[in-house]
Amino acid sequence: MLLVAWIAVVTAAMPPEVGGSLAGRQVFPRTNWWNLDISRAPIDTNSAAFVNFISGRTASNPTATRPVHPDFGPSPYGIPYVVVSGDQPLVTPVWTAYGDESDAGAPGRPPGYPFPVEARTQAGYIEGAVAGGGIDGDRHLLIVDKDNWLLYETGATYWNAALNRWEANCGAVFDLNRDDRRPDTWTSADAAGLAIFPGLVRYDEAFAAAQIAHAFRVTVRATNGYVWPASHRAGSTAGALPMGARLRLKASKDLSGYRPEIQRIFRAMQRYGLIVADNGSDMYVSGATDARWDNGVLNPAFHGLTADDFEVVRLGWKSTAPRPPTNLRIIR
């Protein structure tokens, strides 16, 4: 009995794992917008104009283009995520900007977010690789509660040692078993009001045997309003894409010359696309921080693509395909 109790205490005391395994679990249902097959979705009538805007193409500069860039790699590049157990202590951050649009915690659970105490003093837990988050950059903190299958995300995350408290500009909690969307006009840790974690390029998926089956998060320099599945705007620049818009790598793009892991990433761009989620640099595709990424491989491969290799799916498009029945029995 003493041995069992000791093991339980040690297990509970194990630190949260940065980039930890999800054991192959499905992130959001297959019906979720991140997991939606858009390979046959209609092209938006303004697709060419949107691509021209991203490329910076004008009458005086008709050949301008914009290469695609991997916004991830070994630390400090990319956005880390942390996997915690269901008994991780909860803390209540002080909201510094969007408190009225922030979730107090997960429905049916005590209020608070399972911030790892290690993030106060150790780099690598918060985007930007500064212990405690620092005061510059987006400073996203993404936490997956593997036992309750919940996703907690905050932006502008900062451990204020002087006041002995966590601060963040916004917080959102997502049930990874459900398709719940943020209320219209609400933001999240991302400007579009979307979850960040499901849109990351992850090392474990790129090097797995199976194909990657979800869209990726992408930024552009300016946006104009929002469309489904986004819920929040962060700009009104004429000619720019709205938040929530989808870019799809053209099916005609030949991927045969790329390494297998790059092919998996690019095939996902053809089938699931890129979702515009924030203002930033044009065609920067988000991924998870991982020491195993080789930017000497990633950069030239991604730079082999440009905005002209993509088309814009009809804005706000939703699949109307009938869902397969779930209550059938096979009778022999």
| Domain match, 160 and 240 both | no
Residue 144: HSE in the Cβ half-sphere, 13 Å Cα cutoff: 23
**Which tokens hold the place of 172?**
């959102």
| Domain match, 205 and 262 both | yes
Mean pLDDT of 195-204: 98
| Residue 241 pLDDT grade (very low, low, confident, very high; cuts 50, 70, 90) | very high
| Domain match, 61 and 118 both | no
| Domain match, 273 and 293 both | yes
| Domain match, 48 and 65 both | yes
Residues of the domain holding 139: 80-183
Whether 33 has a pLDDT exceeding 50, the answer reads yes
Q: How far is CA 226 from CA 184, 229, 238, 240, 290, in A?
A: 10, 8, 13, 11, 31
- Between 332 and 171, the more confident residue is 171
| Domain match, 220 and 290 both | yes
Stated pTM of the model: 0.92
| Domain match, 162 and 215 both | no
Identify the weakest region by mean pLDDT among 7-11, 41-45, 146-150: 7-11
| Domain match, 59 and 136 both | no
| Domain match, 97 and 135 both | yes
Phi, psi angle pair for 305, to nearest 5°:
-105, 145
Mean pLDDT of 300-325: 87
**Cis bond leading into 76, ω under 30°?**
yes
| Domain match, 45 and 122 both | no
For the chain, the average pLDDT equals: 93
> For the chain, how many structural domains are there in total?
2
| Domain match, 210 and 309 both | yes
| Domain match, 238 and 268 both | yes
| Residue 162 pLDDT grade (very low, low, confident, very high; cuts 50, 70, 90) | very high
Q: What CA–CA distance (Å, rounded) separates 114 from 96?
A: 18
